[in-house]
Amino acid sequence: MVDMELADIAVDGLVSTAEAAVIGVDPNALRRRLRAGEIHRLIPGWYAVRSPDGDADRHALRTRAVLRHLGDRVQASHHSAVLLHGLPTWRADLATVHVCRREDRQSRRGNGLSVHPSVGDFPGSVLPPAIAVLQAGMLAGPEAALVSADAALHRKRVTADDLAGAAEVLRRQPGMAAVRAVLPFADGRHESPGETRLAFLLRGLRVKATPQVWVRDGRSSWRVDFLLDDAPVVLEFDGLVKYQDGSRGAEVLVAEKLREDSLRGLGYEVVRVVWADLADPARLLRRIEQAIARARRAA
C-alpha cells in the first residue's frame, strides 16, 4: 500500500474522519495532529489540512465542510455564500454558517449552523451572488448588502438587473424591505468596502458627491475617490493597507503626498478619510464643511 497523507486525499483543503480512516489515520491520530497544529477542526468530523488565513477564510472552510457533510440537500447562502463567491462582507456573524435547503421549507438553528427554507431552484452548491448579497443585508443591515453588492458589480459578477431580480425572489423575506430601499444606491464604481461605507455615510449626512472622478490639469490627470458636487473638495478613503508594504510603503506615501499637493495646486481641498472617521459622522461632517469653507475663501 502506498503511503498517503491527509493532504493527498483532501478536497478543497478538507478531509473527514471517515476519509482519514481509509488511509489508516484513526481518531487518535487525528487528535494528535490537531494538538500539533497540523490540522484544524472545522465542524464535527471535518478538518482543514491548512491553517485558515483569518476569520473569513475559516468561515469559508467551515461552510465548505458543511456542504460536504450535508451533500446536495443544501446550498450555501447569506454571508457564507458571499465569502465563497470571493466577495467582501460587512458585520457578518462569522460564527454561524448559513445554508438554504434546496426543496423544503423547514429551518433550524444551532451549533454554529443556520438552515433556512428554500428560496428557489438554483443550480450548484452556492446560491447566486445576487441572492447571497441581499440575504447578507437581511441579516446584517442595508449597509452590509451594499458592501457586497458594490464589490459584485465592480467585479462584474452581477448586474443591476440581477440584483432587482433577486430582490423580487426575496421580496417576502424578513428584512428585505430595508435592503430593497438602498438597492438604487448600489454602485460598481466603488472600489472597496471603505468607499462603499463612506458613500453610505455621505448620503446620511446629505453630502452630495460623485465617485471615481478624473481631475485633469492639461498635462496630468488623477482619479479621486469622491468629488463633492457643489464644491472643489476631494474625499479620499485611505485604508492604510497600501502603506504597510515594507518595500514600497514609503514610496507609495511620497507619491500620495505629491498627488495631494498637485490637487491642492489646482484649487481642490483634500479630505482624507480613514476607518475611524466612519465611526464619527459628526466629526467627519465638520471636516468636510471646513474644507468647503477653505475652498470658497480661496476662490
Q: Does domain 193-298 have CATH number 3.40.960.10?
A: yes
List of residues 6+ apart from 127 with CB closer than 8 A: 75, 76, 77, 81, 100, 119, 135
Work out the widest C-alpha separation in the chain, in whole angstroms: 83
Evaluate if pTM is beyond 0.85.
yes
Q: How much of the chain, in percent, has pLDDT values that exceed 90?
A: 81
Residue ranges with strand state E in 49-170: 74-76, 97-101, 108-110, 113-116
Question: What pLDDT does 2 receive?
Answer: 44
pLDDT at 254: 57
Residue with cell 497600501: 242
Q: Which helix (H) or strand (E) holds 280?
A: none
DSSP letters for 142-189: HHHHHHHHHHHHHTTS--HHHHHHHHHHTTTSTTHHHHHHHGGG--TT
Q: What parts of the chain have a pLDDT lower than 50?
A: 1-2, 243
Cα(188)–Cα(54) distance, rounded to whole angstroms?
26
List the chain domain ranges.
6-48, 55-185, 193-298
Sheet holding 97-101, edge to edge: 74-76, 97-101, 113-116, 108-110
What is the distance between the alpha carbons of residues 127 and 81, in angstroms, rounded to a whole number? 6
